[in-house]
Chains A and B, each alone.
Chain A
Amino acid sequence: MLSREIMGALCLGVLWVTALLVAAAAWQDFRDLRAIVRRTRKMIEGVVKGGDLAEWSVEQTGRATDDDAIAFHDRSFHSEVFGGKVGVDGSAERDIVANAKGEVWVGERAREEAASCGDVTTYDAAHAIARKAKGFARTVRVRVRAGERVWVVGDGEIVSTFDPRAWARNKSFLVLAFIPIELACCAAATRLALSVPHFGTMSIIGAVACIAFFLGVTPVAVALRESVRRPNEAFLRTVWSRKALLHNDVPARKALRS
């Protein structure tokens, strides 16, 4: 006979193994982010001189949705450092060599702007293709151009339009904060489940909290993991909504009404 005590202990054991594994996986992400921070010790900051220094791009497929929108799926990410000159401290210039394997990190706003739709005419043309099985294929590109402030790690291993060290530090603190918070939530749910009298009402509330934690912590952990993906491979996944376009585009709305 399996008593409630045995089964309760077993379930709490599984709960804690899961919580600890989620924490350990987060620690792996933390370690990766600290490695980026260490790499940025050899980093320069300056302004791009001359032509384009680098390009980030993502190939996407857009597919129509039932709520009159196009949802884009990221197929593959590409980065290329073309090479060029970066002006450091006003007068000095540093040569950046071309690096086909270099990572190009561009800001979120620049990516979103490059991926935005523009107008209803563009949307309608794309939507007609997006309704078909193959979808609407496009490449979103962002170039790091002359005059832009950049941070270059190593010999063009990372070319970024924002401070990579600050990014990696912020993300690593986020991941680091997640670990004790996650374990504290698990401990709180466990404490509640072990309330006296055992298997009483409070204990049931605690068990419900444990189930909620068990089912909820992994999606949160995966979302966190995706949020700390290296910026050159961070998901873009834009959605073009006709409704939103019409809302923002008064002339287009008038033209459609007429």
Chain B
Amino acid sequence: MLQRVASRFLGVKYASDVRQVWTVATYYALLASMFFVPACRNVVFLGAACAFSFLSAVVGHNTLHQGMFESKRMNMVWRYVLSFGGLFPISAVIPSHNLVHHHFDDDGQPDWAAPEHVRFSWNLLNIVHFPNVAGPLTFNGVQRWARLAGKGEFRKQYTRELVFAFGLTGALLVWDFWTALFFVVVPQLWGARWFLRINIIQHDGCDTTTEWNHSRNFVGKIFNWFMMNNGYHTIHHNRAGMHWSELAKAHEKEVVPRMDPTLDEPSMLWYLARTYLLRFSRPAKRVGTEHEEMGARLTRKAQAEADALA
């Protein structure tokens, strides 16, 4: 009931999107608390701000798949809010994630966020270093894509988001340099870098040429409540237009009967510990067997490209 009232007040399309607004509002509240109240500059607040910065980027990801608000203008304003949160223009997600990552392919070249871009023998270094490679590759790719004909609106929005994110952060740095650096910029960069790292977590070792085994799913209930169901990654890739609130059911119905069951991980923390801390080497890549269904992905790719170019 309360959620429905809040959703009407906020003007969001789905009542469940109130959770996304709450997530970003909590993140901003944490940043403001640390910036203005010295007593809040502690491990608990900083840790929470870093976690909510990442969750805010997840909200950005969801929003760029499907505008959250009824109003187009509000959706654009929301992008500024999210851009400041991660200190990067959130619209970059459209080419980098929607058009390239979802197909694991940049028109014949590897996905800008493919796990193969890092190749240390000690696997822990791969996850730590991953954003250092995927970040620049992504922004170079976005620049190339934005140059193409018909992307004028994107370029304007991207520039405005860039100016807003860096402008507001710069203003805070001028106001109180050390507080802004330690308690605003640190959480911003933490969120943005883990947003890139999630790609290696969800796909490293998976066979991205397959229809159902290209992704790793994290299926913990509490985890998915905070993550807006982004743990259910296979179904998200295959049905990019599906609202996040419907992913859990669709995962059970469509993915579970077809996927390699070992790609369902009950806990991300346990997976991270097992893969990056409790072993030295990188796990071997799985090789899928269901290539005959690739036609479906090619159809989806053609559709996504047509939508993007329309």
Q: Is B182 engaged at the interface, CB distance under 8 Å to the other chain?
A: yes
Q: Is A73 engaged at the interface, CB distance under 8 Å to the other chain?
A: yes
With contact pairs A2-B46, A133-B309 given, residues A28 and B149 touching in the complex (Cβ less than 8 Å): no
How far is the CB of B33 from the nearest CB of chain A, in Å? 13
Contact assessment for A131 and B149 in the assembled complex, using a CB-CB cutoff below 8 Å: yes
Within 8 A of A (CB), among B121-154: 125, 128-129, 131-133, 135-137, 139-140, 144, 147-152
Contact assessment for A11 and B132 in the assembled complex, using a CB-CB cutoff below 8 Å: no
Q: Is B299 engaged at the interface, CB distance under 8 Å to the other chain?
A: no
Q: Is B119 engaged at the interface, CB distance under 8 Å to the other chain?
A: yes
Within 8 A of A (CB), among B173-230: 177-178, 181-183, 185-186
Contact assessment for A66 and B149 in the assembled complex, using a CB-CB cutoff below 8 Å: yes
With contact pairs A2-B42, A7-B182 given, residues A222 and B137 touching in the complex (Cβ less than 8 Å): yes
Pick the contact of A222: B38, B133, B182, B309 (CB < 8 A).
B133
Q: Is B41 engaged at the interface, CB distance under 8 Å to the other chain?
A: yes
Pick the contact of A4: B109, B137, B182, B305 (CB < 8 A).
B182
Residues of B close to A10: CB separation below 8 A: 186
**Chain B binder among A19-27, A34-42, A81-89, A144-152:** A19-27
With contact pairs A218-B135, A219-B139 given, residues A71 and B46 touching in the complex (Cβ less than 8 Å): no
The CA of A64 and the CA of B306, in the complex, are separated in Å by 16
How far is the CB of B299 from the nearest CB of chain A, in Å? 15
Contact assessment for A66 and B151 in the assembled complex, using a CB-CB cutoff below 8 Å: yes
Q: Is B2 engaged at the interface, CB distance under 8 Å to the other chain?
A: no
With contact pairs A64-B148, A74-B108 given, residues A21 and B309 touching in the complex (Cβ less than 8 Å): no
Pick the contact of B41: A1, A22, A131 (CB < 8 A).
A1
Contact assessment for A11 and B107 in the assembled complex, using a CB-CB cutoff below 8 Å: no
Count A-B contacts at CB 8 Å.
Answer: 101
Pick the contact of B186: A4, A11, A76, A223 (CB < 8 A).
A11
A221: nearest residue on chain B (CB-CB)? B132
Residues of B close to A24: CB separation below 8 A: 120, 125, 129
Pick the contact of B136: A8, A76, A218, A237 (CB < 8 A).
A218
Q: How large is the interface on A (under 10, 10 to 19, 20 to 34, 35 or more residues)?
A: 35 or more
Q: Is A49 engaged at the interface, CB distance under 8 Å to the other chain?
A: no
The CA of A76 and the CA of B43, in the complex, are separated in Å by 49
Write the A194-218 contact mask toward B (1 if CB under 8 angstroms, else 0): 0000010000100100010000001
With contact pairs A2-B182, A7-B186, A24-B120 given, residues A204 and B151 touching in the complex (Cβ less than 8 Å): no
How far is the CB of A79 from the nearest CB of chain B, in Å? 16
The CA of A59 and the CA of B149, in the complex, are separated in Å by 21
Within 8 A of B (CB), among A56-70: 59, 61, 63-67
Q: How large is the interface on B (under 10, 10 to 19, 20 to 34, 35 or more residues)?
A: 35 or more
Pick the contact of B128: A2, A11, A17, A204 (CB < 8 A).
A17
Residues of A close to B131: CB separation below 8 A: 218
The CA of A7 and the CA of B49, in the complex, are separated in Å by 15
With contact pairs A207-B177, A218-B132 given, residues A66 and B147 touching in the complex (Cβ less than 8 Å): yes
The CA of A67 and the CA of B151, in the complex, are separated in Å by 11
Residues of B close to A219: CB separation below 8 A: 136, 139-140
Residues of B close to A76: CB separation below 8 A: 108-109
Q: Is A75 engaged at the interface, CB distance under 8 Å to the other chain?
A: yes
Q: Is A139 engaged at the interface, CB distance under 8 Å to the other chain?
A: no
Residues of A close to B183: CB separation below 8 A: 7
Residues of A close to B137: CB separation below 8 A: 222
The CA of A59 and the CA of B152, in the complex, are separated in Å by 27
Contact assessment for B109 and A75 in the assembled complex, using a CB-CB cutoff below 8 Å: yes
Interchain Cβ contacts under 8 Å between A and B, 19 examples: A1-B42, A2-B41, A7-B178, A18-B132, A21-B125, A21-B132, A28-B119, A65-B149, A66-B150, A66-B151, A67-B147, A71-B148, A73-B144, A75-B107, A211-B181, A218-B133, A219-B139, A221-B132, A223-B136
Q: Which residues of B contact A (CB under 8 A)?
A: 38-39, 41-43, 46, 106-109, 118-120, 125, 128-129, 131-133, 135-137, 139-140, 144, 147-152, 177-178, 181-183, 185-186, 305-306, 309
Extra inter-chain contacts (5) besides given A7-B181, A219-B140, CB under 8 Å: A25-B132, A71-B148, A73-B107, A219-B139, A222-B140
* Chain A to chain B: the 6 pairs with minimum beta-carbon distance, closest first: A75-B108, A7-B182, A222-B136, A219-B136, A64-B149, A21-B129
